[in-house]
Amino acid sequence: MRLFDFNRAPNPRRARMILAEKSLDIPLVNVDLFAMEQLSPEFLAINPAGTVPVLETDDGIYIAETVAICHYLDSLFPEPPLMGTTPSGRAQVLMWNNIIEHYGMSAIAEVLRNLSPGFKNRALPGNREYPQMPELVQRGRHRMEQFFDRMEDQLNNRKFLATDEYTLADISLLAMCDFAGWVRVNPMRTRPALDKWYAAASMRPSAQA
């Protein structure tokens, strides 16, 4: 196996944290997003969406999307389980991870991609050009605050986000807390439950992946 990666982006980081939690050491193939290597014909043949991470399996199958990668690795290497161990637990992990992706990551990306000059004509990921819309920046900031308020409510008197164990949902939330720093937001500053959770999650060795 090998993982197509870019060490500065949040989604590949989530994949690396999954590998680290499972103590898996597989080769990483750097895809330089700044140099637009994800849009090269060679990489688009691997993932037509032009995004990372992508896991190449030992039998030559390419798996894109972090949840799919985690599901595959959880099936092959079940310890520690990162997607829950019971029907309700697995549903909770998927639910909270979906909330993080659709309400958290998308809000932060809306701010970043419509604000940063580095994303000119790259307001959406993939192999098509989309112009920036500066009027979406403030909306994205409001959405971001609402998302982190929801995380604060969920983490009140809880050790982990989705179940009684550390899961993919926690990995994704940790990545989003740090991703918010890209737009100069510290979501822990005014949220004590999130701050306590973040301090503990950041101490895990996988947080450095």
Percent of the chain with pLDDT strictly greater than 70: 99
pLDDT in tens, 101-140: 999 999 999 998 898 777 777 767 767 787 778 889 999 9
Q: How far is Cα 195 from Cα 166, in angstroms, rounded to an integer?
A: 16
| Integer Cα distance of 204 and 193 in angstroms | 18
* 2-76 and 87-208, same CATH topology: no
Cβ–Cβ < 8 Å for 39, 50 = yes
Give the global pTM. 0.93
| Whether 76 contacts 17, CB under 8 Å | no
Per-domain residue ranges for the chain?
2-76, 87-208
pLDDT for 108: 96
Give the span between the Cα atoms of 93 and 133, in whole angstroms: 33
Please name the residue that has the structure tokens 């970043």.
Answer: 112
28 backbone dihedrals φ, ψ, rounded to 5°: -105, 135
Q: Among 1.20.1050.10, 1.10.510.10, 1.10.8.80, 1.10.3470.10, what is the CATH number of 87-208? A: 1.20.1050.10
**Which CATH superfamily groups domain 2-76?**
Glutaredoxin (3.40.30.10)
